[in-house]
Amino acid sequence: MNHFLDIHTTAPDDLRAMLDMARQMKDARNGLPKGTLDADQPLKGQMVALIFEKPSTRTRVSFDVGVRQLGGQTMVLSGSDMQLGHGETIADTARVLSRYVDLIMIRTFEEETLLEMAEYASVPVINGLTNRTHPCQIMADIMTYEEHRGPIKGKKVVWSGDGNNVCASFLHAAGQLGFDVTFTGPKQLDPEAEWIELARSKGSNIEIERDPVKAVQGADLIVTDTWVSMHDPESAKERRHNQLRGYQVNEALMAQAKPDALFMHCLPAHRNDEATSAVMDGPHSVIFDEAENRLHAQKAVMRWCLGK
């Protein structure tokens, strides 16, 4: 049984195997109707619980569709359905769910909830997002970069904006897959020092550059994310805009990167805040390939968890 909890806790060879499987499955589906089942149906007869303490569009749809394409069935549970840790313990919930389903995906707030679920579940658990990390998104991002530009090893990735959970998983991937990351953003929103040192300890060049123009020099990929979360209070939103306005990814900033640099954003986006529409819809952007590849990457993750 394999849990998929974070990129830095998953062996590099396993990450590479999942990325290769994702590409193979995507290629195999080319030209097929979207509702078509995968030929081998590795999840036939199996049930997957999809738990959402946090609302979701891409995670919910991509996992639900992915399970169905693999021949399985889903049970979607919201935070209000479960009330995780409020009454029945997370440990007991994990034990009970394990009697009913073959795989659990959880999108939650606190990392401790994910870890406790995995500790006590007797079926594989997948991290669909926590406040601290978002590994499934980065698996899709790596897949997207490599299908457009080849191996990501040795490339320079620039993260512009808030050193959030998606940024954290990029740092994990840098250490595991051998690429470099430059963070550009205000000091108050730096990524966790633990993740910076972890990537550096594995040989990746991790830099912090406050000047975004200097940061993107020689960049192969520029990535950003929303400046505000749907759960942030209004006062926090105004403060974030003031802090991050200088780190908007616009056409002038993209022009400072390599001519063939790609642009990514995990979506949803606030257009003309963290990135301009001209960039999001422009020739460097692969944001919708990135969104599609959540489906294929997560199917590969599920197959790996279940030994399929």
Catalytic residue, candidates 8, 107, 132, 172: 107
Catalytic residue, candidates 132, 240, 284, 294: 294
* Greater model confidence, 293 or 1: 293
pLDDT of residue 53: 92
Catalytic residue, candidates 60, 132, 134, 172: 134
**Cα 241 off chain centre by:** 23
Is 294 an annotated catalytic residue? yes
Answer yes or no: are the C-beta atoms of 195 and 204 closer than 8 Å: no
Is 134 an annotated catalytic residue? yes
Catalytic residue, candidates 3, 6, 46, 137: 137
Grouping H, G, I as helix, E, B as strand and the rest as coil, residue 213 is helix
Average pLDDT over residues 15-26: 98
Q: Which of the four pLDDT bands, split at 50, 70 and 90, describes residue 88?
A: confident
Strand partners, 103: 48
Peptide bond into 33 cis (omega under 30): no
Residue 290 pLDDT more than 80? yes
Between the CA atoms of 169, 174, 176 and 178, what dihedral angle is there, to the nearest 10 degrees? 170
Average pLDDT over residues 270-295: 98
Is 225 an annotated catalytic residue? yes
Q: Give the CA distances from residue 299 to residues 6, 102, 207, 242, 295, in Å, rounded to whole numbers and listed in that order.
A: 16, 15, 33, 39, 6
Is 107 an annotated catalytic residue? yes
**Cα 50 off chain centre by:** 16
Catalytic residue, candidates 225, 248, 284, 296: 225
pTM: 0.96
Peptide bond into 283 cis (omega under 30): no
Query: Phi, psi (5° rounding) for residue 30?
Result: -55, 125
Q: Tell me: the pLDDT tens digits for 158-177? A: 999 999 999 999 999 999 99
Q: Tell me: the pLDDT tens digits for 42-81? A: 999 999 999 999 889 999 999 999 999 999 999 999 877 7
Answer yes or no: are the C-beta atoms of 189 and 243 closer than 8 Å: yes
Residue 6 pLDDT more than 90? yes
